[in-house]
């Protein structure tokens, strides 16, 4: 027991606490903007797709290509490529704020694809029935498509949030802060294995909690 406590003796707990807050902040803000961008993009991908309500092969092709390009860039490289854009957007590429634009650009296309897939699961007959009631396109999306796909959308958001957790760990590379940054600076570069262990455990707990909450919500909203 003493040896166990001694292993963690030289850890700077306030610093770990600060890094945890940074990670949660990055996660919260980037998730907010990811949903804000990714959800409409996913809806648009779905609607302009083949044999859908707004079938537009050219628009779909362009959006799909953009999403594929962004998803194929490794996140570590996207972080660096995004630096000028981030500076232009918010004036700095450092700290928690500086990490949010690349996180959103990395995660929104991912979420958009998942949203498109979730919407495709909605029975075409239900969409047709809504049309037959005299619904407008906006009503079809907001009253039928999104509510019917809700469990799938929550699952998509959960997967995206977890992907964002691992992205935030890379944000340290551009000075983004957070638990991942701490693990690299102390755990890897200064051989402080104990810091590495603590950060990994904290990240693990975060992922577990996200998955659990997501799963609960999916069950709560599944009516099939």
Partner 1 sequence: MIEFQNVQKTYLVSGRQVPALQSTSLRVEAGEVFGLIGHSGAGKSTMLRLINRLEAPSGGRIMVDGEDVTALDSAGLRAFRRRVGMIFQHFNLLSSKTVAANIAMPLELAGGHSRAEIKVRVDELLARVGLTDHARKYPAQLSGGQKQRVGIARALATRPKILLCDEATSALDPQTTGQVLQLLAEINRELGLTIVLITHEMDVIRRVCDRVAVLDAGTVVEQGTVADVFLHPKHATTRRFVFEAEHVDEGDLMSSYSHVEGRILRLTFRGEATYAPLLGRIARETGVDYSILGGRIDRIREEPYGQLTIALVGGDLDAALARFDAADVTVEVIR
Contacts to partner 1 by CB under 8 A: 123, 125-126, 128-136, 139, 143-144, 147-148, 150, 221, 223-224
Nearer to partner 1, 94 or 217 (CB): 217
Phi, psi for 115 (deg, rounded to 5): -65, -45
Nearer to partner 1, 91 or 125 (CB): 125
Nearer to partner 1, 80 or 219 (CB): 219
- CA distance linking residue 97 with residue 125, whole number of Å: 45
- CA distance linking residue 28 with residue 191, whole number of Å: 30
Question: Any residues with CB less than 8 A from the CB of 84 and at least 6 apart, and which?
Answer: none
Nearer to partner 1, 133 or 201 (CB): 133
Token output for 57? 């092969």
**Residue listed under structure tokens 């700095």:** 92
DSSP state of 152: H
**Residue 110 · residue 38 · CB < 8 Å:** yes
Minimum distance, C-beta of residue 45 to partner 1, in the bound complex (Å)? 22
Nearer to partner 1, 18 or 117 (CB): 117
Nearer to partner 1, 150 or 200 (CB): 150
**Residue listed under structure tokens 């850890």:** 11
Minimum distance, C-beta of residue 127 to partner 1, in the bound complex (Å)? 9
Minimum distance, C-beta of residue 41 to partner 1, in the bound complex (Å)? 23
Minimum distance, C-beta of residue 112 to partner 1, in the bound complex (Å)? 22
**Residue listed under structure tokens 């999306």:** 141
Minimum distance, C-beta of residue 26 to partner 1, in the bound complex (Å)? 32
Token output for 131? 């049309």
List Cα–Cα distances, 86 to 109, 117, 166, in angstroms.
18, 30, 20
Minimum distance, C-beta of residue 126 to partner 1, in the bound complex (Å)? 5
Q: Which helix (H) or strand (E) holds 115?
A: helix 95-120
């Amino acid at each position: 027991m003493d040896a166990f406590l001694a292993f963690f003796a030289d850890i700077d707990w306030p610093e770990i606490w600060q890094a945890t807050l940074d990670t949660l902040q990055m996660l919260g803000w980037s998730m907010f903007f990811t949903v804000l961008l990714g959800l409409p993009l996913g809806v648009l991908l779905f609607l302009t797709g083949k044999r859908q309500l707004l079938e537009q092969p050219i628009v779909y092709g362009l959006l799909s290509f953009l999403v594929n390009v962004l998803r194929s860039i490794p996140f570590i490289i996207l972080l660096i490529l995004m630096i000028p854009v981030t500076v232009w957007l918010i004036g700095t590429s450092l700290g928690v704020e500086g990490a949010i634009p690349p996180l959103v650009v990395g995660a929104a296309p991912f979420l958009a694809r998942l949203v498109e897939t979730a919407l495709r699961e909605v029975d075409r007959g239900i969409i047709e029935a809504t049309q037959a009631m005299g619904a407008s396109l906006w009503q079809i999306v907001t009253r039928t498509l999104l509510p019917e796909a809700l469990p799938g959308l929550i699952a998509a958001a959960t997967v995206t949030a977890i992907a964002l957790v691992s992205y935030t760990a890379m944000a340290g590379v551009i000075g983004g802060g957070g638990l991942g940054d701490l693990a690299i600076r102390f755990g890897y570069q200064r051989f402080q294995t104990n810091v590495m262990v603590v950060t990994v455990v904290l990240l693990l707990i975060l992922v577990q909690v996200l998955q659990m909450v997501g799963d609960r919500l999916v069950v709560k909203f599944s009516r099939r």
